[in-house]
Structure 1
């Protein structure tokens, strides 16, 4: 098997309109497609991240809450690369998104920080 790259990351949200607004209007991802599946009362929103990657945003009725703290086994967080972390942090704060203090990766020496989506999914921005 020859895996080429990550195709997409799937996120299940509890409030579709709130999460759609967050990922499209606040983070600036481009909508590729949006489908409502009546038989499941579920939306599937395809989003483009940097014209290379995709996020699939799903809504399902009565999805259980994500275990986060203390850290549960499984996906820990989703990280996005930015050119200028201070600029990115300022933009997030201007959109009323709470951002943690900028830290330095002790292994790479690169700057990074975390913020959360509407369902408390930890998201990271990592400076190139």
Structure 2
């Protein structure tokens, strides 16, 4: 087997409107048209997609609240970490800087899904 590309990640959300505000408006990801028969929203990042899927219950598997990066998370590259940090804080998002000292931060979507942003 030879895996050649990662296509998408599915994220469970409880409130689609709040999730769409976070991923579409706060993070600024472009939405993708989808013709599926269950509630959700797709967003595009280069050749990669994030699939938001509405679920009745969202499992909480946070194992380390002190260091969000040591939990299940998605990681995005950003052009300017300071700008990303300022934009998140201005929208009321909480952030946690990387404990390693590298140029990275962690935030959470409205359902607690962890997002890492690293300046590459």
1:59 aligns with 2:54: yes
Give me the CA root mean square deviation. 2.0
Poorly superposed stretches of 4+, deviation over 6 Å: none
What TM-score, normalized by structure 1, do the two folds share? 0.79
3-state SS of the aligned residue for 1:48?
strand
What TM-score, normalized by structure 2, do the two folds share? 0.83
- For the residues of structure 2 that align with 1:69 and 1:103, how far apart are their CA atoms? 16
Gaps of 5+ in 1: none
- For the residues of structure 1 that align with 2:40 and 2:52, how far apart are their CA atoms? 6
- For the residues of structure 2 that align with 1:5 and 1:48, how far apart are their CA atoms? 15
- For the residues of structure 1 that align with 2:86 and 2:20, how far apart are their CA atoms? 21
Structure showing greater radius of gyration is 1
Aligned CA distance change for structure 1 residues 30 and 67 (closer, same or farther; 3 Å): same
What is the deviation of 1:93?
Answer: 1.1
Alignment deviations for residues 64-123 of structure 1 (CA, whole Å, 9 cap, x no partner): 42211348xxx7111111122111101111121111235545xxxx31111100011111
Gaps of 5+ in 2: 66-70
Matches within 5 A, 1:13-24: 13-24=13-24
Number of equivalences: 115
Aligned to 1:96: 92
From 87, 107, 112, the counterpart of 1:115: 107
